[in-house]
Amino acid sequence: MQRILLALIMIIFLVVSCKLKEEPTEPVDPDEDDLILVFPNGNDSLMVGANYDILWASTLQSTLVLEYSTDNGSTWKTISDSVSNTGSYTWGPVPDSRSSKCLMRVRTPNGSSSDQSDGNWSIIENVNKVLILTAPSGGIVLQQGSSLDIAWISSKITTVKIEFSSNNGNTWETIVTNFDASKGKYTWEKIPAINSAQCLIRISDVSSPTVSDVMPTTFSIVIDINLMVLSPNGGEELEAGTDHEIRWYSRDIATVKLEYSINNGLSWSTIVNNLTNTGLYLWEPIPSTPTTLAKIKITDVDNPANVDQSDTTFSILPEASITILSPASGDKWQSGTVQNIVWNSKNVANVKIEYSINNGATWTQIATSVPSNGSYAWSVPVHNSSLCNIKISDASDGRPSNIMNQPFTIYTGEDVLEVYSPNGGESWEIGTNQEIKWFAFGVTSLKIEYTTNNGQSWINIANSVPNIGTYNWKSIPNTPTSLAKVKISDASDGIPFDESNGTFTISQESQIQVLEPNGGEQLQAGTSTNIRWTSTNVENVHIEITTNNGANWTTIVRSTPSIGFYVWENIPDVSSQQCRIRVSDASDGIPSDISDGNFTITNQVVQTLIVTSPNGGEIWQSGVSELITWQSSGIDSVKIEYSLNNGTTWIVIAESVENADAYTWNPIPSVDDFKRSCKVRVSDAVDGKPMDESNGTFTIKPIPSITLLTPNGGEEFTAGESFDITWTSIGIEKITIESTSNNGVKWDTVAASINNTGTYSTEFAIPSTEYKVRVKEASTGSPVDASDGTFTILPKITKSITVVRPNGGENWLTSKDPNNPNYHEIRWESNNVEKVDIQYSLNGGATWNNIVFGIPSNGLYNWRVPENIQFRTDLAKIRIRETNNENLFDDTDGFFSIHPQVKLLRIEQPLGDEYYFCPDDPCEDLFNLVTWTSAGISHVKIEYTSDNGATWETFEEQYPSSGAYPIPIPLVGQCVFDVDSNFVFIPDLPTSQARIRITDATPIGVPYVPVADPTIVDVSEQFNLGICPLSSKVGLKPNNEIIGRKE
């Protein structure tokens, strides 16, 4: 089903997107191949100068490269080397490279996947006159005296005229009058000495000047100047409130000042001072100073005499605006009525009108583009909502736009009720106050209920409240659930009613629990510690301390995110055994919690030591330096050690160093593999107490290295066939693999950031003798190792087998006996096949018999046809297949015949006494067969006697021994209309002594058939011809001679 859907989608896509092209072939399912070219794919014709959509189907995620060839793939030209994988790319205009041997290729940048046209397609002459200017492009700046290449694409045009304008096309000067259009390029030498930013090139057909093309944007020519305004340079129309790129040409200028004038340069206003000179500045917003006399001025800050301004004036148009007048906030419009949407606008030609029923969350289109005449008659759709809104915007680009400040109402006119909030997905906390909102029409008072089980049962909130659209639900009850809903109904009879569209959550009441310090701890004044807690539904917390068992509280932090811990730095300088911590909701103080018991703060000297880094989980590199840190008090010098085995044994880093709460470990010692059970231990260097070690283990990784093993140069692989890239490495967890098909000129990613397993299977699709691969550490790119030499990707091997003989119509004899074999040549052609098996079939391929297995595929095998084939067959076939590959084979195109050497011939019909060609039967029904069986006989002679063998008449001299022969009517009589207008048979000679004789015969001009043996003959018994059993009908010839007789 997926394949059918994809095919339908792609066919529709082709019809919609193609331009001046025939239908491409039907797309195929990219699930079968990861990249499939769809168009052009063979037998297509693309016209010079036209645009076409290149189409493909792909399951890949990477960008793609598009290339084409005009010489059947010998060389390729790039269309684009970075195409988004969207399935379509517009190529045009098609270059004038006419050829019938064109191919298109789409591939990944690294060539790991590719596909090209199944057959050749053509670039042909356009049926219309085509003339497209392709160079130069706009925006370039040229010096006087330089040259310019002017290029074009043309079809059905002999000569062209090329012209130049320095004033944006107001006047034109001829560059060349008659130039050969087929050349496609003209070099304009010695560009004239002018200063202009409004230069254009025009090209036209000499014979039909209306066939022409002009550059879409201007370019510039400068003499020897340092600064020139390029845009806006005169004639532009810029809208106030929008933006525009100011562009200029400059040389040897560091910073510039930009100004604008609205009075043709009488006065100037600054846009920007001291701007770094890049040649480009985005002017936004353009000021609301409407004028037709605007100019731009650019000044070299370091040399104010170096200045330029727009050549002529441009316009600043008034800022466009839209103001919605109707509907107004609070209006109520009934569904089905026609209401006027009214607005004011300035400098807006056409508007787009949209409406929303959810206060702007989503919008529905009313009109795509209508004249901005201030009014639109709208047939109000069927909705019930008090959150409706109108949006009106400029239809061309969406700017400006206007949305109503407050919503209005659309209603159907019937009693309506709709719950707005909660409507699904909300989370309301137990004990909080929440606002229930709804829309109702035709209802005075309402009943409000809620459910905690998705509507299985309901609990009252309020029995009767006025229909004002909102109700304050105070103190959400303690019924935590994720299946809550609210239902609102008419308080009088319950109709209408509505409930939340989806469930919402009534969440647990906010909670806080202090974890540390929670009683019994001893903290040193002036140090730091972690305050820890748990919380539910609390965003920020307020943390306080008491040193007198709660009599007074001092703030530690007024508000900090409730993430479960807070680093309490510089513990106060007090001594108290009655300290506690209180943590509360920073917004209102509720909930809160206090340490369960007292802890101690002392300002007496106490030795403490806590390792802080590495403390578990770190990954440190051998050979570099890292900082070991700890927190301590009362310690002058420390001893530092490390362990590679989680503390089983320890190695000294420093025996005794001054205690600075940090030590640079340089270098970290080398290891031969990842050591993942490392710890650091720090202790007082005097007596070893206090002591602390890393809470968890960290990793020391070895100095990284990579050695590429294969392919390393000289190998040969086949395109499309998988092979292994292998390497050895130390200290690397993830690697990136890249490849080049041009000996390192360009590298493409094969696999990015994959686990370092030492091997990776891949394949390449594009043949080349200059392949290399390289493997590198994924995050930093170092270390890296590449193939020492290039290796080769050979073209993909195509295998084929074609049976040449027998291939249909041959006649072969079996062997007479093992001592007298009869051989026949089986011939075939093959490509890239080493060994084959040969089989034969006697029944048209229904079953197969083996001839030989695993012989060299040299194209010839002499087959001794078995002597045990007893009966002739005309449905013989030969099959030749690749050994051990049942999918590659070829069969005889038609059927051939095998004849046994032991001959057999026996007439089966007539057996005797039958009635052939009875005159009672209508001629249309007369069909009489002679049948026989035979073996070893190719053709037979068929004879007939009407006088029991006294004389014989030949029906057929050489007739294929097929086992059946229909006796033609003209050989034994004729069909005529009798006196009753019946079409009847009249025998030439009615007889009851008819017989058939069949003899082995040699055909003339038929090769490879058995030699006839005239002694092989059979004669039938007597039968009746031209006589009917029990007949009373008399047949008449035209002369009324009676020829029938009664039996």
Provide the CA 788 distance to its chain's centre, in angstroms: 36
Supply angle C-alpha 172, 174, 175, rounded to 5.
125
How large is the average pLDDT for residues 572-585?
92
Residue 39 has which token pair? Answer: 């168009």
| Separation between Cα atoms, residue 634 and residue 603, nearest integer Å | 12
| Strand 434-441 versus strand 408-411 pairing type | unpaired
Tell me the mean pLDDT in the region 347-375.
90
Rounded Cα distance, 904 and 275, in Å: 110
pLDDT digit string, tens, across residues 12-61: 333 333 333 333 333 334 334 578 999 999 888 888 888 888 998 887 76
Q: Which pLDDT score, from 0 to 100, does residue 975 have?
A: 87
Looking at residue 980, the DSSP 8-state letter turns out to be T
Q: Does the pLDDT at position 220 exceed 60?
A: yes
Answer yes or no: are the C-beta atoms of 705 and 673 closer than 8 Å. no
CA–CA separation, 449 vs 97, rounded Å?
78
Angle value at C-alpha 33, between 32 and 39, nearest 5 degrees: 115
Proportion of the chain above pLDDT 70, given as a percent: 94
Q: Token pair of 762, please? A: 């891949």
- pLDDT recorded at residue 539: 87
Mean pLDDT within 931-947: 88
Identify the CATH homologous superfamily for domain 225-317.
Immunoglobulins (2.60.40.10)
What is the rounded CA–CA span in Å between residue 185 and residue 152? 6
Comparing 283 with 937, which gets the higher pLDDT? 283
The per-residue pLDDT for range 377-416, each reduced to its tens digit, is 999 998 888 789 999 998 988 888 899 988 888 887 777 7
CATH number of this structure's domain 800-899 = 2.60.40
Strands 314-317 and 385-394: unpaired
Q: Which CATH architecture has domain 130-221?
A: Sandwich (2.60)
Q: What one-letter code names the amino acid at 846?
A: A
Strand, coil or helix: 6: helix
Radius of gyration of the chain (CA): 49
Asked if omega into 318 is within 30° of 0 (cis), the reply is: no
| Total count of residues recorded for the chain | 1047
Measuring CA to CA, which residue among 1033, 1028, 923, 1042 is closest to residue 985? 923
**What tokens appear for 907 in the block?**
């007439």
| % of the chain beyond a pLDDT of 90 | 49
Three-class DSSP category at 183: helix
- Model pTM greater than 0.75? no
Lowest mean pLDDT among 200-209, 542-551, 577-586, 599-608: 599-608
Q: What pLDDT does 816 receive?
A: 67
State whether CATH 2.60.40.10 applies to domain 321-411: yes
pLDDT at 190: 82
* Between 738 and 220, the higher pLDDT residue: 738
Q: Is 456 exposed, middle or buried (0-12, 13-18, 19+ CB in 10 A)?
A: exposed
Residue 133 phi/psi, 5° resolution?
-80, 125
Q: What is the third-level CATH fold of 2-124?
A: Immunoglobulin-like (2.60.40)
Pick the closest to residue 1034 from 954, 961, 979, 969 (CA basis).
979
pLDDT at 725: 95
Report phi then psi at 84, rounded to 5. -65, 140
Give the residue with greater pLDDT, 593 vs 1029.
593
For the stretch 448-490, pLDDT in tens is 999 999 989 999 999 999 988 899 999 899 899 999 999 999 8
Q: What is the mean pLDDT of residues 750-774?
A: 93
Question: Up-side HSE of residue 839: CA atoms within 13 Å toward CB?
Answer: 19
SS3 per residue for 443-511: CCEEEEEEECCCCCCCEEEEEEEECCCEEEECCCCCCCEEEEEEEEEECCCCCCEEECCCCEEEECCCE
Specify whether the CB–CB gap between 938 and 873 falls below 8 A.
no
Distance CA 962, CA 931 (A): 9
Pairing of strands 637-643, 651-658: antiparallel
In the predicted model, what is the mean pLDDT of residues 526-554?
A: 91
Cβ pair 889, 846 in contact under 8 A: no
The DSSP bridge partners found for residue 278 are none
pLDDT score for 33:
54
Give me the mean pLDDT over the 235-255 stretch: 88
pLDDT for the residue 92:
82
* pLDDT tens, residue by residue, 281-319: 999 899 989 999 999 999 999 999 899 999 899 999 888
Does the fold of domain 904-1025 match that of domain 416-507? yes
CATH 3.30.365.10 for the 416-507 domain, yes or no: no
Q: Are strands 408-411 and 385-394 parallel, antiparallel or unpaired?
A: antiparallel
- CA torsion sign for 950, 953, 955, 957 is positive
Write the pLDDT tens digit of every residue in 559-571: 999 999 999 988 9
Cα distance between residue 793 and residue 774, in whole Å? 16
Provide the pLDDT for residue 575: 87
Residue 268: Cβ within 10 Å count: 18
Instruction: Tell me the average pLDDT across 354-363.
Output: 87
Residue 2 clears pLDDT 70, i.e. is over it: no
Burial of 578 (0-12, 13-18, 19+ CB in 10 A): middle
Task: Judge: domain 904-1025, CATH 2.60.40.
Answer: yes
Q: What angle do CA 432, 434, 438 make, to 5 degrees?
A: 165
Burial (CB count <10 Å: 0-12, 13-18, 19+), residue 960: middle
Query: Does residue 353 surpass a pLDDT of 50?
Result: yes
CATH class of 511-602: mainly beta
Instruction: Report how far residue 419's alpha carbon sits from residue 488's, in angstroms, rounded to the nearest whole number.
Output: 7
Q: Which CATH superfamily is domain 705-794 in?
A: Immunoglobulins (2.60.40.10)
Query: What's the CA dihedral at 593, 595, 596, 599 to 10 degrees?
Result: -170
Measured distance CA(233)–CA(251) in Å, rounded: 19
Torsions phi, psi for 971 (to 5 deg):
-75, -20
CB of 674 closer than 8 Å to CB of 753? no
Q: Please report the pLDDT score of residue 29 as a whole number.
A: 40
* pLDDT of residue 1008 exceeding 70: no
Query: pLDDT by residue (tens digit) across 694-723?
Result: 999 999 988 888 999 999 999 999 888 899
Task: Supply the DSSP string of 65-89, one letter for each residue.
Answer: EEEEESSTTSS-EEEEEEE-SSSEE
CB contact set of 853 (below 8 Å; sequence gap of 6+): 837, 883
Least reliable range by pLDDT among 123-132, 287-296, 348-357, 470-479: 123-132
pLDDT of res. 81: 86
Residue 652 half-sphere exposure toward CB, CA atoms < 13 A: 7
The four Cα atoms 408, 412, 414, 416 give a dihedral, to 10 degrees, of -50
Give the model's pLDDT for residue 434. 92
Separation of alpha carbons 699 and 110, rounded Å: 36
Q: Tens digits of per-residue pLDDT, 940-985? A: 999 999 999 999 999 999 998 888 999 998 888 888 887 777 888 8
CATH architecture of 608-701: Sandwich (2.60)
Q: Which amino acid is at 54?
A: I
- Domain ranges for the chain, please list them: 2-124, 130-221, 225-317, 321-411, 416-507, 511-602, 608-701, 705-794, 800-899, 904-1025
pLDDT of residue 57: 87
Higher pLDDT, 260 or 937: 260
Question: What is the 3-state secondary structure of 186-200?
Answer: EEECCCCCCCEEEEE
CA atoms of 817 and 813, how far apart (whole Å): 12
Q: Are strands 723-730 and 759-762 parallel, antiparallel or unpaired?
A: antiparallel
Alpha-carbon distances of 584 from 290, 511, 540, 554, 727, rounded to whole Å? 60, 9, 9, 13, 59
- Average pLDDT for 785-814: 89
Across the chain, mean pLDDT equals 86
Q: What is the pLDDT of residue 28?
A: 38
Cα–Cα distance measured from residue 488 to residue 312, given in angstroms and rounded to the nearest whole number? 69
Q: Among 143-147, 333-337, 637-641, 1019-1023, which stretch is predicted with the lowest mean pLDDT?
A: 143-147
Pair of tokens at residue 613: 């880094």
C-alpha 194 chain-centroid distance = 51
The pLDDT confidence band at residue 531, using thresholds 50, 70 and 90, is: very high
CA dihedral defined by 652, 658, 661, 664, rounded to 10 degrees? -60
Statement: residue 893 has pLDDT above 90: yes
Identify the pLDDT of residue 633: 82
Output b/e per residue, 172-204; b: 16+ Cβ within 10 A. Answer: beebeeebebeebebebeebeeebbbbbbbbbb
pLDDT at position 217 is 84
